[in-house]
Amino acid sequence: MLISFSVENYLSFKDRATFSMVASREKQHQERLGIIKSHKIKMLPMAAIYGGNASGKTNFCQALNFAKHLIVFGTRPDTRIPVEPFRLSQPHRGKPSGFIFEIHTGGKCYEYGFYLTPQQVEEEWLVEILKTTEKEIFRRKKDSISFRADLEKDQFMNFAFQGTRDNQLFLTNSVNQKVERFKALYEWFRDCLVLIAPDTRFESFDQFLKEDSPIYEYMNEALSRLDTGIAKIGGEDIPFDSIPMLPLEVRSQIKETLVKDKPARIRLDTHGDRYVVQLKDDEIHAQKLVSFHLDSDNKEIKFDLKSESDGSLRLIDLLPAFLAMSQDGPAKTLVIDELDRSLHTLLTRQLLDSYLADCGPNTQSQLIITTHDVLLMEQDLMRRDEMWVAERDADGSSHLIAFSDYKEIRNDKDIRKSYLQGRLGGIPKILLGGSLKPMNDRIAANG
């Protein structure tokens, strides 16, 4: 579980901004709070971040994504770290950027963080958080490192650090070197922290073609009940060589590298067709993902996916992620940027209601969204500490604040009205008023 995340000097975040999933003393919806029993901490199952355009919502998601990618995939030798400090302040352009996580995994709570520049990792540390104290496991400062006493004489641990490049995280390299002690932490970032961008599409769409897959039945039932007009989705067998617009070099690469039981996914463009190719009996078989609608005689009529609406495609993208939140296995922390993109408010509300209905004291999954949909800003849906606002200051920097920090917001107050009136921040500071005609006249005069 994500307990908190802090980001500093990255994109629009100049000063440290901290986002927390720890529940406040708010009394509403207590029945759905998860509990870290070892530390007696009550955790929020979801949070929504509001804010005007360019307020920092997407940059917050990008900070999470950057940190995850750096931890999981690392860097190549002799390359710069693709970190982007706050650029609107001269002193900050040369300062390190910071990323600090508090997480719960494997029955333990940790703080893991690092500061870095494009050239090198300046500082990196891992601390185990106990009930009443903390124990530092390691702390790295540039090209030196100190370990907890019981690890100090571990020759393999020291060997792993000696092989860690300046532009590489020690956590990443130690796991690559098969240091088991940090594996659970690494796997949380790799497997449990899931980020979905506004243009993410069909990350696991091959599962939609398997009638024995749990996603297959769930998807078809959900798409029908959510008024998409789609009766079901499935696959159409086609010859591999007939896949249109597939570059010759890609076609050749697939033929050379495809192995049995490891299907390859093909996406020709963001809104176009999807294919799955796999090796069977030494032959390459291809299937095209299609949708089916019912005609007036209740017969299934096949459609290409690119004929479906953006909203239907967005649902096809999101539903498997929501299903994964309720399945057995490692609990997910799902972060969705612009959840409401292309979705009607009632559809977005239904997704949230369905997820929250299954949340309780044993819930370990978490949902974090960014949204502009103020119709979701209701206390019968979300607690005050589950609603956040991203605000851009006059100097262009972003910060985050929870609605529960505003003492004047009672649990019976219309939060939406206060937000739209600008009393909570996070709304566009629109300077343009009246008709656009005078502007058009100036453009024509200068034209």
Q: What is the pLDDT of residues 179-191, one digit of tens each?
A: 899 999 999 999 9
Stronger pLDDT, 245 or 347, i.e. the higher one: 347
Q: What is the pLDDT of residue 22?
A: 97
Q: Which residue has the tokens 């870290």?
A: 36
- Report whether 67 contacts 172 (CB < 8 A): no
Q: What is the pLDDT of residues 409-429, one digit of tens each?
A: 666 567 777 777 776 666 666
- Which whole-number Å values give the CA distances from 131 to 36, 86, 136, 149, in the listed order? 11, 36, 14, 20
Q: Is the pLDDT of residue 40 over 90?
A: yes
So where are the chain's domains? 1-198+337-430, 205-312
Count of CB atoms within 10 A of residue 428's CB? 12
Strand partners, 90: none
Q: What is the pLDDT of residue 271?
A: 59
Residues 6+ apart with CB under 8 A from 92: 9, 14, 85, 86
Q: What is the pLDDT of residue 96?
A: 98
pLDDT mean across residues, the chain: 88
Q: What is the pLDDT of residue 433?
A: 59
Q: What is the pLDDT of residues 18-29, one digit of tens each?
A: 999 999 998 899
Of the candidate ranges 16-25, 94-103, 210-219, 329-338, the one whose mean pLDDT is the lowest: 210-219
Q: What is the pLDDT of residues 146-173, one digit of tens each?
A: 999 888 888 888 899 999 999 999 999 9
- Which whole-number Å values give the CA distances from 224 to 112, 291, 299, 352, in the listed order? 43, 12, 15, 18
HEC readout, 405-447: HCCCCCCCCCHHHHHHCCCCCCCCCCCCCCCCHHHHHHHHHHC
Q: How far apart are CA 196 and CA 320, in angstroms?
A: 12
Q: What is the pLDDT of residue 247?
A: 84
Residues in the chain: 447
The dihedral of CA 90, 96, 97, 102: what is its sign? negative
Q: What is the pLDDT of residues 390-401, one digit of tens each?
A: 999 999 999 999
Q: What is the pLDDT of residue 48?
A: 97
Residues 6+ apart with CB under 8 A from 125: 111, 112, 113, 114, 136, 138, 139, 140
Most confident of 101-105, 196-200, 252-256, 281-285: 101-105
Determine the CATH number of domain 1-198+337-430. 3.40.50
Q: What is the pLDDT of residue 319?
A: 84
Q: What is the pLDDT of residues 299-353, one digit of tens each?
A: 999 998 888 888 888 888 888 888 878 776 778 999 999 999 889 999 999 999 9
Q: What is the pTM of this model?
A: 0.88
Q: How far apart are CA 40 and CA 43, in angstroms?
A: 10
CA 245 to chain centre: 31
